[in-house]
Amino acid sequence: AQSVAQPEDQVNVAEGNPLTVKCTYSVSGNPYLFWYVQYPNRGLQFLLKYITGDNLVKGSYGFEAEFNKSQTSFHLKKPSALVSDSALYFCAVRVPWGGSQGNLIFGKGTKLSVKP
């Protein structure tokens, strides 16, 4: 079965330090990968996606993610964290075939806390 794992429930980072939020996936074939951010009592905001091509993807608000096929990972990174980055981050995978092509499969989320 297809699945997404975010192994850390929470990541704590000091402002100005680099941050990494981890994501691994288990699907057959080549998936499409996404990162979303959710602020309290809000919907999900799209950050970036990997479809094909360069393994390093750049997205909104200075975030980037690296696709690693051999490790089946898609970790989210940012060189210098801001307090305003504190939120809940979701990794998602889409399998572009089968009977439910619209299906985004989400991880459980990682809470990022950036301290001043």
Partner 1 sequence: ETGVTQSPTHLIKTRGQQVTLRCSSQSGHNTVSWYQQALGQGPQFIFQYYREEENGRGNFPPRFSGLQFPNYSSELNVNALELDDSALYLCASSPGTGGGDTQYFGPGTRLTVL
**Least distance in angstroms from the C-beta of 44 to partner 1:** 4
Segment 22 to 41, residues that bind partner 1, using CB under 8 A: 32, 34, 36, 41
| Nearest-angstrom CA–CA distance, 59 and 49 | 8
Q: Does 108 bind partner 1 (CB under 8 A)?
A: yes
Q: Does 42 bind partner 1 (CB under 8 A)?
A: yes
Output 53 or 116, the one with its CB closest to partner 1.
Answer: 53
Tokens of 75: 């970790």
Q: Which of 115, 105, 114, 109 is CA-nearest to residue 28?
A: 105
| Cβ-defined contacts of 44-47 (< 8 Å, 24+) | 44/90, 47/76, 47/89
Q: Does 90 bind partner 1 (CB under 8 A)?
A: yes
Q: Does 65 bind partner 1 (CB under 8 A)?
A: no
Tokens of 5: 């794992």
Binding footprint of partner 1 on the chain (CB under 8 A): 4, 32, 34, 36, 41-46, 49, 51, 90, 92, 94-96, 99-109
